[in-house]
Chains A and B, each alone.
Chain A
Amino acid sequence: MKTCLVVDDSRVIRKVARRILEELGYRVAEAADGAEALAQCRAAMPQAILLDWRMPVMSGPEFLRRLRIEPGGAEPKVIFCSVETELGRIREALEAGADEFMMKPFDAGIVAGKLHAAGAA
């Protein structure tokens, strides 16, 4: 079964994303910030990661930078998830090594499309 790690400091967003991902056939793990997510990735690298931009302790971009230098850290397809709708921010996310960028709010169709575009589906 494919696994997806949902990294977001909002429990509501994690819950919404979990429901959508489980319907798409993913096993879902959750983390509330980048540091927690990094620890989880070291234990078991997921196939896909939905990543919030702004979080306490460790932000999304900082997590992504560290993830990509971990052993096996190039493998997960990372989809940034943000309320930001600035093209500059989206470009920045892609340059930082994200595979996709998803603007909040999202629905099941968008999540499925983004996973497909990232090559995880």
Chain B
Amino acid sequence: MRPRERAFVAALCAERAGLRLDHRPGYLMESALAPVARREGFLSTSDLVRAARDRADDRLSSAIVEALAPAQTAFFRDPEVLGAALDALPFHRGEPLRIWSAGCGAGQEVYSLAMLLAERRSPAAVEITGSDLSQRLIDKAEAGLYSPFEVQQGLSAGRLVEHFEQLGEGFAVKPRLRAGLRWRRENLLQDAPEAGRYDLVLGRYLLSSLGPSARTRVLALLRAALKPGGCLLLSPHDAIAAYALGLEPLGSAPGLFRQSAAVAQAA
């Protein structure tokens, strides 16, 4: 790809999804777009990008942006932190609990939470929603089907045997783990999730890929989605932004914050 084509792609990603790509080397852009070019029948990534630009093709443009949004690909990323976030949930209230994983990629974080909850044998009903910019990833997440390589990213053999069943060469999440999960495609720059709905919101490895104004907007959305007393889990290096919003650090895990009930009422 030529510098002008790369600049077009960077501008497209910034405009549509708030993504900041300027610090990423060009070859990563090429390797992320190569599968899209192949799938769409172009001979090169340059041809793909020029087609999106010259025809102002909305579908191709979306495919380009979605391919460049970084996605979490591992199960049980920082498992102690996930455990601490679940510990902070008000199970004792006996009401159904709601969790939202923002930028859930192909669903690994959502299924990790579902496995942890199943292993805790909690009687409380928990509804987990995963959302992502990419429809392809949401479709994959909903299917719950992973290759042998994918299930080895962070998933123990014991959990694989316990929670998955064989499907051809791959592994499918068992139906009982998928009950209570919801999936939606969502662009956090354009769509606003329902405010005050969730007991726990996870936005890990999400903010650092965004430009400053997109980051501010997304963080405000994540916070607004919390119920009074609800918890927000961010990557440790994004934590500074949560302090600025007046969230209280919980101390049981880096990046875990609670929306104080008082602040929520005032807001």
Contact = CB atoms under 8 A, between A and B. Distances in A.
Interface string A102-118: 11011001100110010
Contacts of A23: none
Given A85-B148, A85-B169, A103-B148, A90 B153 contact: no
A117 B158 CA distance: 9
Contacts of A106: 152
The bracket for how many chain B residues form the interface is: 10 to 19
B153 A100 contact: no
Interface string B152-191: 1110111011001110010100000000000000000000
B164 to A, nearest CB: 7
Contact of A102 (B152, B161, B164, B171): B152
A91 B171 CA distance: 14
Q: Chain A: interface secondary structure? A: helix
Contacts of A87: 160-161, 164-166, 171
Given A91-B161, A94-B161, A103-B148, A86 B154 contact: no
A56 B169 CA distance: 27
A117 B160 contact: no
B152 A90 contact: no
Contact of B156 (A85, A91, A100): A100
Given A93-B157, A94-B158, A110-B153, A86 B148 contact: no
A53 interface: no
Contact of A90 (B154, B161, B169): B161
B162 to A, nearest CB: 10
A88 B169 CA distance: 13
A17 to B, nearest CB: 15
A113 B154 contact: yes
24 contacts: A85-B169, A87-B161, A87-B164, A87-B165, A87-B166, A87-B171, A88-B166, A90-B157, A91-B161, A93-B157, A94-B157, A94-B161, A100-B157, A101-B157, A101-B160, A102-B157, A103-B148, A103-B149, A103-B152, A110-B149, A110-B152, A113-B152, A114-B152, A117-B157
Q: Lowest 5 CB-CB distances: which A-B pairs, in order?
A: A101-B157, A117-B156, A85-B148, A103-B148, A110-B152
